[in-house]
Structure 1
Amino acid sequence: MRIRVMSQLQRSLSIELPSLVPLQLPSRMETHLWFIRPDEVKSTSLLKHYSQLLSPTEKEKVLQMRGDELKKNALLARTLVRTTIARYQTNNEVDPKALMFKKNMYGKPEVDWQNYTNCNNPPLHFNISHTDSLIACGVTVHVPVGIDVEDKERKIKHDILAFAERFYSADEVKFLSTLPDPEVQRKEFIKLWTLKEAYVKALGKGFSAAPFNTFTIQSKVGTKGEYNLCKMTEMTASSLEETNKCDGEWKFSLLELDDSHYAAICIEDDEASGGAIFS
C-alpha cells in the first residue's frame, strides 16, 4: 500500500485562484488526503479572501461559531474542501466559489454535480474531518470515502476499558484489556475510535446505521497500518475463522500526520480483488 499525503499550507491555499495547480484525478481505488494546520495560516487578508469563496449559508454558519478560533477553523475547513475539489476540475473552469453542495438523505455532504453540465470528469467523492489543530479532506473517484483525524495526545477522561465496554465490540474490549501499559492502551483506543469513525462516515448513513459496538476493527496480519472489518454476526470462537470472515468490501488505512495526529481512511472496494492504494 502506497501512502502519499498532500499538505495545503498557506502558500498553496493562495489568494490568486489561477495559482491552484491542476491535479490528475485519483485513480480507481485511490484516495488523496489533504490536510492543513490552522496555526500556519496567520494572514488576516488571506482569511478575508477565503471567506469570499464561501456560499452565503456557509458564511452564516461560520459567523455563528463561538470564538475566533472556531470561526477560523470552520472557514479553513470549507476553504480546504472548495480549493481541493477545484484543483481536480480546473480544466473545466470550475472555480472554488462556484462549487455547489448538497446532502444525501442521511446528511452526508456531497458535491452537486448536476449543476455542471460541462464537467466530463467522473464525480469526486470527499469527506472532511478536523480537530482544533488539524483539518483534513479525503478525495476519491467512483467510491465513497470516510476519514477521521484525532490528536495522538488526546486525553480520555473516563476509564478506558469502562468507556470501551460502552461503545466497542467485545473483541475490541478484550484486545484493549491485554495491554498492560496505560499509554499504549490509550493510543490503541484512539486508533480504534478513528478507524470506526472513518467507516461510519464512509457508509454515509449516520451513526445509527452502524453503532460502534456492532462491528470490530482488527489489524491486518502482515501489514503496517491496514485493518479488516468484521461484522458481529460473523464472529466465531476461533480468531483464525474471524479473520477469514472479515468483510473485504471495505479497505482501511491508518497513518500519522505531522507526527501529531492519527488519520484513518476507509473506502469501499468496488473491485472484489486487489488492494486499495492510498495516495
Structure 2
Amino acid sequence: MLSSLIPLQLPSRMQTHLWYILPNEVNNKSLLKHYTQLLSQHEKDSISGMQSDELNKKNALLARTLVRTTLARYHTNNNDNTVVDPRALKFKKNLYGKPEVDWEVDDTTTNHPKLQFNISHTDSLIACGVTLNAPVGIDVEDKTRKMRHDVLSLAKRFYSSEEVKFLSSVEDTESQRKEFIKLWTLKEAYVKALGKGFSASPFNTFSIIRSDAETYNLCDQAGEWKFRLLELAASSHYAAICIEGEDGQEAMNVIVHKTIPFVEDELISI
C-alpha cells in the first residue's frame, strides 16, 4: 500500500529545500504506473512522444513526478490540512521557457504559497529545488563526468578569463577536472535562476570565483546572488543552488531530502 505525502513547513526566506530521487531505485511497474496517473495529458503525450529509449522516458516520468509531489507537500487543503492532489497543480512557462507554477486559480479551499522551483537531472539522479518568493536555479552533475577535450581548452571556450586563470593555477589534472565541473554546475544554476536562458547569459559573460574552500561568489553582476555547492548520493554528484537574495542577508540554508514518492522519504541534511 502506498503511503501519503506529508504536509511540510514552507522554506524560510533564505532557505532552499532540495529533494532528489535516484532512478535506479525505482523499478516497480505498479509504482511507475501510479506516477503516470499524476501527470497531465500534455505531460503524458510529451513523454510517450520522446524519440529516445525507455530509460530516458522513465527518467522524464520521474522528473515530472518529483516536481508534482514535491510542490504538493507545501500546498494544503484548508479544511483538513492535507496536501493537495499532485494532479491538481498547473504549470506555465515564462517568456524564456522556464517552467513556473500557474497561480491563477479560484480554489479558495486550498492554501497556495508563492513557491518557486527548479529541476535538474543526470541519468542517475534527479533533483528539485524549492524556495519561497525567491528565484532559484539548480544544477546537478555526475562527479565522474569525463571531458571529451582538454579542460583548459574547454574553459577558454566557455568560461571567463578570471575562471580560466583560476583553473590554470590548479596543477593536478584530476583536481582541475573537478573544479571545471564545479564551476559548470554553479554557472548553470545561476543562468537557470535568472530564468532567461543560456543565450541571454552566456557562460563567458560572468565570473564565479571561489573565495575559500566552500564559498563561491558572483563577480561584477547586478543583484545579490547566493550560492551553495553540495555533494549528493554518497558524494557521487555535485549539486549547485543559486537564489536571489538582498545585500547583507545571511548565507543560504539548504535542507536536503532523498525520496521515492509515496514510498519513503529520508532527511539527508539540514
Task: Output the TM-score relative to the length of structure 2.
Answer: 0.88
- SS state at 2:19 partner: strand
Q: CA RMSD in A?
A: 1.6
C-alpha spacing 1:220/1:91, structure 2 compared with 1 (3 Å): farther
Separation in structure 2 between the aligned mates of residue 121 and residue 68 of structure 1, nearest angstrom: 35
Per-residue CA deviations over 1:129-161 (Å, capped at 9, x if unaligned) read: 000000000000010100000000000101111
The match for 2:229 is 254
The CA deviation at 1:216 is 0.6
The match for 2:59 is 73
The match for 1:112 is 102
Q: Is the 8 A contact 1:22 1:90 kept in 2?
A: yes
Separation in structure 2 between the aligned mates of residue 274 and residue 178 of structure 1, nearest angstrom: 30
Q: Is the 8 A contact 1:228 1:247 kept in 2?
A: no
The match for 2:192 is 201
**Aligned pair count?**
248
- SS state at 1:114 partner: coil
Question: Counterpart amino acid of 1:113?
Answer: W
Task: Output the TM-score relative to the length of structure 1.
Answer: 0.85
Per-residue CA deviations over 1:169-208 (Å, capped at 9, x if unaligned) read: 0010111111111100100000000000000000001112
- SS state at 1:166 partner: helix
Q: Is the 8 A contact 1:228 1:248 kept in 2?
A: no
Greater length-normalized contact order (CA 8 Å, ≥ 6 residues apart)? 2
The CA deviation at 1:94 is 2.2
How high is the sequence identity, in percent, across the aligned residues? 67
The CA deviation at 1:272 is 4.0
1:165 aligns with 2:140: no
Question: If each structure's helix is expressed as a fraction of its own residues, which one has the higher value?
Answer: 1
Q: Is the 8 A contact 1:195 1:265 kept in 2?
A: yes
Question: If each structure's strand is expressed as a fraction of its own residues, which one has the higher value?
Answer: 2
The CA deviation at 1:274 is 2.5
Separation in structure 1 between the aligned mates of residue 123 and residue 195 of structure 2, nearest angstrom: 23
Question: Counterpart amino acid of 1:173?
Answer: V
What are structure 2's unaligned runs of at least 5 residues?
256-270
The CA deviation at 1:34 is 0.3
- SS state at 2:240 partner: strand
Q: Is the 8 A contact 1:229 1:247 kept in 2?
A: no
